[in-house]
């Protein structure tokens, strides 16, 4: 397999649809419509469980491959030193908004699993992602060019 770097998913999806590349890893939101239309075939999902909108697509483990957990996630960060009361208020509002049915539906329809956490839980998640991907980079021998 040859890695082809793109500056964004738009050109990559276009090249995949045009037959210029044979496969790609992509965020669900950019692929669901093409999979549902039959223009693309989703081979496996890189999450621990199947996703809403592409329930028929197996996880890597279900497809018989070693489990792969590499998902897109979104978070809200602020500058260091932001007062704790501001962080707490922002977190409360974000949790409230994510719980709104229409917001949850839009997130889910994009192939994502809506969730929220405390600032401390999100910090721990960020640290665990750093450790996880640091191991992957080291094992693959990735070097900065």
Tens digits of per-residue pLDDT, 10-21?
A: 899 999 999 999
> Sorting pLDDT into bands at 50, 70 and 90, what band is 111?
confident
Domain locations in the chain? 1-72, 73-115
| pLDDT at res. 68 | 85
The confidence score (pLDDT) of residue 144 equals 84
Average pLDDT of the residues in 107-122? 90
Q: What is the pLDDT of residue 134?
A: 95
In this structure, what token pair is assigned to residue 73?
A: 């996630």
Phi, psi values for residue 140, rounded to 5°: -85, -10
Beta-bridge mates of residue 45: 59
Greatest CA separation for the chain: 52
Q: Tell me the per-residue pLDDT of 57-108, one tens digit each, with 9 for 90 and over.
A: 999 999 999 888 888 889 999 999 999 999 999 999 999 999 999 999 999 8
Residue with tokens 């649809």: 17
- DSSP category for residue 65: S
Chain segment 26-47, per-residue pLDDT in tens? 888 888 889 999 999 999 999 8
The more confidently predicted of residues 102 and 53 is 102
Q: Give the global pTM.
A: 0.78
CATH of 1-72, one of 1.10.150.20, 3.40.190.10, 2.60.40.1120, 3.40.630.30: 3.40.190.10
């Amino acid at each position: 397999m040859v890695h082809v770097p793109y500056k964004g998913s738009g050109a990559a999806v276009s090249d995949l649809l045009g037959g210029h590349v044979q496969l790609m890893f992509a965020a669900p939101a950019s692929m669901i419509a093409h999979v549902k239309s039959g223009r693309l075939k989703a081979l496996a999902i890189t999450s621990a469980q199947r996703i809403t909108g592409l329930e028929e697509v197996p996880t890597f483990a279900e497809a018989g491959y070693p489990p792969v957990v590499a998902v897109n996630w979104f978070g809200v960060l602020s500058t260091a030193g932001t007062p704790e009361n501001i962080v707490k208020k922002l977190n409360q509002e974000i949790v409230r908004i994510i719980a709104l049915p229409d917001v949850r539906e839009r997130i889910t329809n994009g192939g994502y699993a809506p969730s929220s956490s405390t600032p401390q839980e999100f910090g721990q998640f960020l640290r665990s992602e750093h450790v996880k991907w640091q191991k992957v980079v080291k094992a693959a021998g990735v070097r900065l060019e």
